[in-house]
Structure 1
Amino acid sequence: MRLRHPDGTPIHLAYCSNVHQAEDLEGVLAQLAAYAEPVRERLGVDRLGIGLWLARDVVTELVDDGRALARLKDELSLRGLETVTLNAFPYAGFHREVVKKDVYLPDWTHKARLDYTLDCARVLTALLPDDARRGSVSTLPLAWRTPWPAERSNTARRALDRLADGLAAIERETGRPVRVGFEPEPGCVVETTTQAVRELGGLDPERLGICLDACHLAVQFEDPGAALARLAAAGLPVVKLQASCAVEADDPADPAARAALGRLAEPRFLHQTRTRVAALGSGGTSSGPVEGPALGVARPRIPRQRGLAAGEQGDGSRHARGLGGPIGADNSGGSRRPDGHDGGFPAGPIPVGGPGDPTGPAGPGHARRSGGQRVPGEGPVLGVDDLPDALAGGLPADRGAWRVHFHAPLHAEPEAPLRTTAPQLTAVLSELLGGPVAACDHIEVETYTWSVLPRPPADLAGGIAAELAWARDRLTGLGLKEETS
């Protein structure tokens, strides 16, 4: 769907096809017929946006075979679909029985990630509608946070320079600009907007920017207005918004809440969980990240790594170009795979944020409003890498609400007493598009978790259509006008 901002900017609203299991071209074409076209028909629109996820093998076929690429473009047109954005975060195997941390592989220290992203951009230039201003591709926020020594940081920065050069070359060849957005995600090298500024500042803003995932923003307890102001001040454009909601438990000690959370603790995807704890002691406030023993849980085996100055390593030394500091050897307690990927989970909570990071400690008596929801601001944000770890005692259950990285349908509440962070998504939309100038023009509804809900829907197309209608109604409520062909 397309809408028009009052400033004249066309706004593209799509849903992301990574909800569908298809890793060959025939599967992608089949999902267009089985789901995307029925979604368009449910909405009663002539043209529907679809943000395609194309696995590595599909992209290779499309780059190597012009007839295959023309076939995909023709099929999109035939079914009243258009594509202005690709989701290139998952590389392959996104619907395997167990995905978890493998979704971050290969990361930006591997040439395969650069090659895949540039190939996605090439494919997108051929799929873009003739009147589209540009295309966008979203990708992971560099890597999972461990291991991240200085040499990997420097390797990634060089890859980003080559990425910008490659995108410029593609635009010269095709006349179609494509920007890549790095998507901050809990547990990664870049998980907050403060870290995005620190790690990604100084990149070419014409080619590179941020893919803002509203679920991730909520899980990190970031205030939408402050987060977006921070990115704008650093010259980091929001290339794309992923319209998504997290799951929240106001009282995670409540047996009913724990039972409902337990039914979300499924084995396929990683569900990072965070809490903003209240201050320690009576009437006092915490002056720094709360370590595990103070909360009655095991001290985390991952050393504190947040809150460093740009380019500063944990030992006070510095490294080149401010792409982030190392955390040393793999201290996660898990097995170390040959590719260096951390396969284990911490025993206790990870202090998230730090001095200067809004997810770190706040001032005395302060409470931050986030999307209309009041969240405690007296203490820091703590996190564990997966929901089962939180339920097993990895997070305090009596110090504040839990937010879970579980993409919940936008239009429906989860099992009571859980709720979603839809108010925060509404606030993000307002901050980006409620003002006199549109701050983002690509919006992708990304609820890839339909199949792992406790009760998966019998009518997936109907659910996706309801989400898109929810997003459209919020946008028109901000003064945008829906366009018809």
Structure 2
Amino acid sequence: MRLRHRDGQTVHLSYCTNVHAAEELDGIIEQLDTYALPIREKLGTNVLGLGLWIAAPAASELVSDSAKIERLRREIATRGLEVVTLNGFPYAAFQQPVVKGAVYEPDWTTPARLTYTLNLARILERLMPEDAVRGSVSTLPLAWRTPWDDERRDACRRSMDVLASELGRLDRTVRVAFEPEPGCVVENTTQAAEMFRDADTERLGVCLDLAHLACAWEDPAAALQRLREAGVPVVKTQVSAALASDDPERDAEVLAQYVEPRFLHQTRGRAGLSTDDLDDALAGDRGQPWRIHYHVPIHAQPVPPLRATTGVLRDALRVLVGGATAECDHLDVETYTWNVLPEGSRPRDPVELVAGIAAELDHARGLLDELNLNREKVTWQG
């Protein structure tokens, strides 16, 4: 979906397809009919944006065959869909039974991560609508925090330099956005500002995940001011909410319903608790408020008395797009955990998942309406 900011910029709102398991071209096209098209119809919009996830093997296949990219572009357009952003954080197998720390591999110390990201950028410049100003690819914030040393840091810096150089060779503007995440080398905006010291911020910037921002216990206005002063652009925003507990001791039984084997749920306490998964937190200090890296649907409350960090989400959107100038024009709703939610909150079939994602997008659209962004009518490209 497209919205017009008062400064004249088009702000793109999409949903991230890493919630779906398809990793091959035929499967990606099939998911357009199973999920994306019904979501568009449910929302009553003539064009729906996708934050498309293309796993590394499929990206390699596409970039080596321009006819396959053209096929994907056509299949997207004829369904009233569009793509201006890709999610390049998970390399592959993101909806397998167990993912956990494997999602950070390969990292930016390896040639494989650079190759994958450049493949996505080259695909995206072909998929973007002709009138799109620019595209974006989000990626992990260099690496998991361990092991980490000067040699690995230097390898990441070299990869970033090559990345920026190669992005400059594209015919269209595609920027890569590094996404701070709990437990990684770059976990918060202070570390992000340091990471981009002497980097090419014309082509590289930050993907600000609002659930991650909440888990870092950062104030959105202060965090964005920090990035602004450092000259680091917010290339993309993941519109997401984290799980929160004001009293983990009281809420321990309910929190246990969110312990699951697929994803890491890093937990951060207001008084300094830091664990790499929710079950580790439950076994330790429960005497301070927690925020948990568990993306929960942005339109609905989690199992009571738990909360979602929607206050952080609202405050961040107000700073990003509520002022005189839009500081980010790619907004992507990224709730990839629908299929691991507690039983009573989990969709039972594709129809219920469509309804849930549509409700999230409608909620996000409503928040942007409140900030006086106007909905654009787009000519269907089919």
Q: Same fold (TM over 0.5)?
A: yes
Distance 2:27 2:286 in 1: 43
Paired residues for 1:162-181 under 5 Å: 162-170=162-170, 174=171, 176-181=172-177
Q: 1:39 matched to which residue of 2?
A: 39
> Hey, what's the Cα distance between the residues in 1 that align with 2:193 and 2:372?
30
Q: Cα RMSD (Å) of the superposition?
A: 0.7
Deviation at 1:65? Answer: 1.3
Q: Is the 8 A contact 1:76 1:82 kept in 2?
A: yes
Within 5 A, what are the aligned runs for 1:206-245? 206-245=202-241
Partners of 2:195 and 2:274 in 1: CA distance: 20
Name the TM-score, length of structure 2 as normaliser: 0.97
- Check the 8 A contact 1:201/1:235 in 2, yes or no: no
Aligned length: 373
Superposition deviation, residue 260 in structure 1 = 1.3
Give the C-alpha shift of residue 253 in structure 1.
0.6
Extract structure 1 runs of 4+ deviating beyond 6 A: none
Cα drift, residue 202 of structure 1: 2.3
Q: 1:327-476 residue pairs with structure 2 within 5 A?
A: 381-393=272-284, 396-398=285-287, 400-455=288-343, 456-458=346-348, 459-476=352-369
Deviations 1:207-254 (A, max 9, x none): 000000000000110000000000010000000000000000110010
Code of the aligned partner of 2:332: E
SS in 2 for 1:203: coil
* Structure index of larger Rg: 1
TM-score (norm 1): 0.76
Amino acid of the residue matched to residue 97 of structure 1? P
Q: Distance in 2 between matches of 1:469 and 1:272?
A: 28
Give, in whole Å, the separation in 2 of the partners of 1:201 and 1:465.
39
d(CA) in 2 for partners of 1:97, 1:409: 21
3-state SS of the aligned residue for 1:269?
coil
* Paired-residue identity, %: 57
CA shift, 1:50, in A, is: 0.3
SS of 1:211 mapped into structure 2: strand
Whole-Å Cα distance in 2 between the matches of residues 402 and 163 of structure 1?
Answer: 37
**Cα distance between partner residues in 1 of 2:354 and 2:67:** 29
Name 2:257's counterpart in structure 1. Answer: 263
Hey, what does 1:142 align to over in structure 2? 142
Cα deviation, 1:433-472, whole Å, max 9, x if unaligned, reads: 1110110000000000000001211300110000001111
Equivalent residue, structure 2, for 1:72: 72
Give, in whole Å, the separation in 2 of the partners of 1:97 and 1:476: 38
Q: From 198, 202, 205, give the equivalent of 2:198.
A: 202
**Structure 1 residues 78-93: aligned runs within 5 Å:** 78-93=78-93
Which amino acid is the alignment partner of residue 169 of structure 1?
R
More helix by share: 2
Tell me the distance in 1 between the aligned counterparts of 2:315 and 2:168. Answer: 34
Deviations 1:12-55 (A, max 9, x none): 00000000001111110011010000000000000000010000
Aligned AA for 1:229? Q
How far off its partner does 1:201 sit?
A: 2.3
Structure 2: any 5+ residue segments left out of the alignment?
Answer: none
Cα deviation, residue 406, structure 1: 0.3
- In structure 2, the partner of 1:130 is 130
Q: Which amino acid aligns with 1:462?
A: A
Amino acid at match of 1:37: L
Q: Give the partner amino acid of 2:286.
A: A
Q: Distance in 2 between matches of 1:192 and 1:202?
A: 18
Contact 1:201/1:236 (8 A) holds in 2: no
- 1:297-318 CA-partner distances (Å, limit 9, x unpaired): xxxxxxxxxxxxxxxxxxxxxx
Instruction: Return 5+ residue gaps in structure 1 as ranges.
Output: 278-380
CA-to-aligned-CA distance 1:75-128 (integer Å, 9 cap, x gap): 101110000000000001111111000000000000000010001000000000
Match of 1:15 in 2: 15
